[in-house]
Structure 1
Amino acid sequence: MVLNICKGDVQSYIALGQQLQEYGHTVRISTHEAFRSLAKNAGLMFFNIGGDPNEFAVYVDRNPGLAPGADSFKNGVAGKNQQVVAEMLDRCLLSCYAEDEDARGEPGFAADLIISNPPTFAHIHCAEALGIPLHLSSVMPWSPTAAFPHPLVNIKQNDEADSRMANYYSYKLVDVMNWQGLGRTINKFRTKRLGLEYLSTQSAVGITERASVPWTYCVSPTVVPKPADWMSNIDVTGYCFLNLAKGYDPPRDLIEFIEAGEPPIYIGFGSIVLDNSENVTKSIIAAVSQAGVRAIISTGLGGLDEVMAKAAGDDVFHLTYDVPHDWLFERVCAVVHHGGAGSREYDSHIGPVDPVSGTILPGLKILNDFGRGVARLPSEPGKGATKMLSASTLGVQNTLQSAAEGMHNLPKVYGGEVRKHKKVTGIGSGLVQGGKGFALGLYDGFSDFFMEPVRGFKRGGVLGAIGGVGIGALNLTAKPTAGLMQAVSMPIEGAVKEVKSLLHR
């Protein structure tokens, strides 16, 4: 199993690894060094692929879609991230057959199958080079569907038909953004390390769908029912629980706080990075005080303010160490969290808990629980802007938009006709218009290739037909190219407009 993942997610796959091992398989967990002891204590083999899950979480938060923003270029983070990803790609390959440097003497290992989550980025390339099967898995949707948008894309559409199309193309947008950020590094890995051919953006985007790679989503089908447009190679199987409560010896101070009064509320946001942690922490502490409740506050990775949490008073316990959710959630009356896998699976598994998704953060428009299933549970998604785009992305959008408009209007130069498209007002309309532009570009290009000679013959006989052949050939290139550019530039244009409108509210 090759995983670029946070702690809550890796626990699910360690549980899956244990189950596979019970069926007689040899399982190696290949992930960050921070999770070595977790995997080894579970009785599984381990391989370090490098990278820091905390740094990766911060980078993704600052650069959604993994396309580096202007600040990331200025402070050198973008270059550092490319180096880290390059190292991880190489070590993902090594994890399929090499010996773990810190576990000399273990039996040899050679992978017959790769199970991977999407953010490793090495999965399909390693499988192709080694000639072994690939099985993808995640705790959030990555497979295109019209039922709900990609969790990293915030779409607002009133028209159901447009919403369904926008939902579907949101997955393509994330794929394009990921390739924009990492395509050069991945292609270097493919060509120089694996000896595979170079991938264009067109070839790279949607490659796992075209290859019909099997998927397993480790999420409850009650929370996320399998959409009707997901094919038979995609399954929603349910959560994988790692029993960490068994044998757990809790710290005395935590036990004393829990037993000192009414069951408290647990508040924590895992690996989420907050831009305004002081104000968020202040709001949480004020809400706890006004409600007259007791609370356990976990400041998490780059989240709540530790100093304020420590000084919150006797009714607030500042949690600074890891506590198994399956142990803790049985001893609290409610949980407020960010909706991560490590939290969500346990609050739906343990009866007494009233699950409440992270709702009080103006800047935390995270998963929205895939927009559907968990919304039926007691939750209220927060308001605010997800930072989809940065200054560098805006520059890319302007360049693509100008190129797309130039190609779109090219037929006017030789007297041809071009279609008008509707105004782009947000990411939803951008996805819809981009999708229509791409489809109509293909249709018009191929249609003109055959029809322009006919029209030319009607206008000017044989000479007109010859001219029509030339115009048709030009349109066969220009119109599909313009459509492809629109498919990329219009969603980005819509995302920029939507972010601007949200930030000015």
Structure 2
Amino acid sequence: MRVVLSSYGSRGDVEPLAALAVELRKLGAEVRVCAPEDEEFADRLAGVGVEMVPVRLSVRALVATAKPGSPEAMTERVTALAAAQYEAVAEAAEGADVVVATGLFPAVTGSRTAAEQLGLRYAYVTFFSGMLPSPHHPPYPLPGRPLPEGVTDNRILWDLDVENGNAVYGPGLAALRTRLGLPPVADVRPYAITARPLLAADTVLGPWQRPADLDVLPTDAWIVPDERPLPAALEEFLRAGEPPVYVGFGSMSMNGSGDTAQVAIEAVRAQGRRVLVSRGWADLGLIDGRDDCMAVGEANHQLLFRRVAAVVHHGGAGTTTTAARAGAPQVVVPQLVDQPYWAGRVAALGIGAAHDGPVPTYESLSAALATALAPETRARAQEVAATIRTDGAERTAKLLMEGFGEPA
């Protein structure tokens, strides 16, 4: 059996596919992963022995240059992204049986189009429930399409989301399909996510509430064991004193990143803690030469988070799950899309604090850190850690091998 796993987005959109690919290969499947051409994705997939077919559109370059624009500019971006993903999937899918897609929505539509044209089974996966229609939560606003004020009925909002999705993504998808000689799609969202999507989120951290409009299949999170040792300099820093507070915001640009680093370091120091700053896409750095603070690049979070006092982060699904699994208290400073959801879940479970808004100040971050560093928060984080399942990718691989997916 041959499987194509397709994603376009940040590390958190690609890492779970590495986990699924590893489990599929254990069952004898041939697997290719379509992911952005950025070097970090190629390195990570190569590290677990998975073949990557690059999507010829750098996600870091896209994030750096994307700005709000006209509807015409949005259509151009959607068309380019859908076409790039389509081309990668079409290349990877020779002789394949099924395509599994996730990531930015235009890329998902490109993946579904390739599967349709090639006559392959298709499955959609998301890593948080807010991407899926439900009476229990509203959709998140699409670019240039804020949710109407005063409307609280989630079913009405999800019906509106279909209209908004057609307006934002429809013209770009139509342009791609016209070029391929395919008929238009009536509604983009149902086409992309199907009637039976997968939800690869931990059932304690990110549960799916029923009843709902879709036949959603929760699988628990897809986690690939990371066996990499920590860099020697980082090991030396960790052993030199009490566990530090980790501060990192992954693929978020954190506008005014210099201020973010200063605020974070000063707030952590005020709690009497050492600081470990992850550079990330915001290129955070140190603010002075004191030896209580260290800046790091890529590192094994599964190993590192077991050795820190708390994790301050943006609230991506992967980082939230990794910190929870490690039993590390969290401070989530949410920036966009799913991150406010994960911030709320961390607070609701009592395993950390949800920062109010995307821009931390010394006062606001200090208050959140006081909550996260409290003994009762660590005790609760350790309790929840024992409930996190690690077999989601294994169970999903078996489903795919048994024929899961919407037929072409």
TM-score (norm 1): 0.61
What does residue 150 of structure 1 align with?
139
What does residue 190 of structure 1 align with?
177
State the AA in 1 paired with 2:200.
C
What does residue 284 of structure 1 align with?
264
What does residue 53 of structure 2 align with?
47
- For residues 67-101 of structure 1, the C-alpha deviation after alignment (integer angstroms, 9 at most, x for no partner) is x436x98xxx868745641541441342343xxxx
1:19 CA displacement: 0.8
Secondary structure of the 1:39 match is helix
1:204 aligns with 2:184: no
1:330 CA displacement: 1.4
- For residues 202-250 of structure 1, the C-alpha deviation after alignment (integer angstroms, 9 at most, x for no partner) is x3343346x52x2111111111222113367312221121122x2x243
1:112 aligns with 2:101: no
What does residue 374 of structure 1 align with?
346
1:315 aligns with 2:289: no
Q: Taking every aligned residue pair, what percent have the same amino acid on both sides? A: 22
Aligned mates of 1:385, 1:173 — CA distance in 2: 26
Q: Is 1:326–1:346's contact at 8 Å kept on the other side of the alignment?
A: yes
Aligned mates of 1:237, 1:186 — CA distance in 2: 29
Q: Is 1:152–1:367's contact at 8 Å kept on the other side of the alignment?
A: no
Secondary structure of the 2:354 match is coil
What does residue 69 of structure 1 align with?
69
Structure ranking higher in helix proportion: 1
State the AA in 2 paired with 1:145.
S
Aligned mates of 2:182, 2:156 — CA distance in 1: 28
Aligned mates of 1:175, 1:207 — CA distance in 2: 11
1:157 CA displacement: 8.9
What does residue 201 of structure 2 align with?
219
1:261 aligns with 2:233: no
Secondary structure of the 2:125 match is strand
1:300 aligns with 2:280: yes
- For residues 320-369 of structure 1, the C-alpha deviation after alignment (integer angstroms, 9 at most, x for no partner) is x2001111111111111111123112111113x1233226xxx6686222
1:52 CA displacement: 1.4
- For residues 121-165 of structure 1, the C-alpha deviation after alignment (integer angstroms, 9 at most, x for no partner) is 21332232222221101212311012123356798999xxx63x2
Aligned mates of 1:282, 1:364 — CA distance in 2: 22
Larger relative contact order, structure 1 or 2 (CA cutoff 8 Å, min sep 6): 2
Q: Output aligned runs, 1:222-233, within 5 Å.
A: 222-230=204-212, 233=215
Aligned mates of 2:140, 2:78 — CA distance in 1: 24
Change in Cα spacing, 1:155 to 1:384, as seen in structure 2 (3 Å) is farther
Aligned mates of 1:85, 1:295 — CA distance in 2: 38
State the AA in 2 paired with 1:3.
S
1:269 CA displacement: 0.6
- For residues 473-505 of structure 1, the C-alpha deviation after alignment (integer angstroms, 9 at most, x for no partner) is xxxxxxxxxxxxxxxxxxxxxxxxxxxxxxxxx
1:57 CA displacement: 3.8
Secondary structure of the 1:301 match is coil
Farther off after superposition, 259-268 or 37-46:
37-46
Q: Is 2:305–2:326's contact at 8 Å kept on the other side of the alignment?
A: yes
1:22 aligns with 2:26: yes
Please, which of 34, 39, 43 is the counterpart of residue 37 of structure 1? 43
Please, which of 325, 330, 337 is the counterpart of residue 349 of structure 1? 325
State the AA in 2 paired with 1:95.
E
Q: Is 2:134–2:213's contact at 8 Å kept on the other side of the alignment?
A: no
What does residue 394 of structure 1 align with?
none
Change in Cα spacing, 1:79 to 1:215, as seen in structure 2 (3 Å) is closer
Change in Cα spacing, 1:273 to 1:285, as seen in structure 2 (3 Å) is same
For structure 2, the residue ranges without an aligned partner over 5 or more in a row are 360-408
Farther off after superposition, 77-86 or 331-340:
77-86
What does residue 123 of structure 1 align with?
111
Change in Cα spacing, 1:229 to 1:372, as seen in structure 2 (3 Å) is farther
Aligned length: 345
TM-score (norm 2): 0.74
Please, which of 90, 94, 109 is the counterpart of residue 90 of structure 2? 94
Secondary structure of the 2:254 match is coil
State the AA in 2 paired with 1:369.
Y
Structure whose CA Rg is larger:
1
What does residue 238 of structure 1 align with?
220
What does residue 10 of structure 2 align with?
6
What does residue 471 of structure 1 align with?
none
Aligned mates of 2:333, 2:357 — CA distance in 1: 13
Change in Cα spacing, 1:336 to 1:170, as seen in structure 2 (3 Å) is farther
RMSD (Å), alpha carbons? 3.2
Aligned mates of 1:297, 1:16 — CA distance in 2: 30
Q: Is 1:365–1:383's contact at 8 Å kept on the other side of the alignment?
A: no
Aligned mates of 1:133, 1:373 — CA distance in 2: 34
Aligned mates of 1:232, 1:206 — CA distance in 2: 10
